């Protein structure tokens, strides 16, 4: 069952939002908001803390010389 959600935004904010939505290809504000909510509720996202840990680990590996320079995707597959 669908329910209706109403939000109030300042006029300038709504105008900017509508421009943004149009520029990225959404048909309506409602579809855009629905997409944002659905993406936010996905379980497979990583947290900010997880991302920070991954970056720290990558930096350690880089400093330890465990990385290699690639010039293309093809180099990655070698």
- Structural domains in the chain, sorted by start: 1-44 (1.10.1220), 46-78 (no CATH)
pTM of the model: 0.54
- Compute the average pLDDT of residues 34-41: 91
The pLDDT of residue 69 is above 90: no
32 pLDDT tier (thresholds 50, 70, 90): very high
pLDDT reported for residue 58: 95
Contact predicate 22/31, CB 8 Å: no
pLDDT at 68 over 90: no
Element (H, E) at 76: helix 73-76
Under 8 Å between Cβ of 21 and 29: yes
Give the other-Cβ count within 10 Å of 8's Cβ.
6
Would you give the distance in Å from CA 60 to the centre of its chain?
Answer: 25
Residues sharing a CB contact under 8 Å with residue 22, sequence separation 6 or more, in sequence order = none
Residue-level pLDDT at 43 = 80
């Amino acid at each position: 069952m669908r329910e209706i959600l109403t939000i109030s935004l300042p006029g300038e904010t709504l105008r900017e939002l509508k421009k943004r939505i149009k520029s990225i290809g959404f048909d309506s504000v409602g579809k855009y908001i629905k997409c944002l909510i659905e993406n936010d509720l996905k379980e497979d996202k990583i947290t900010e803390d997880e991302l920070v840990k991954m970056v720290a680990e990558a930096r350690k590996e880089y400093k330890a010389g465990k990385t290699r320079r690639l010039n293309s995707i093809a180099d990655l597959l070698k």
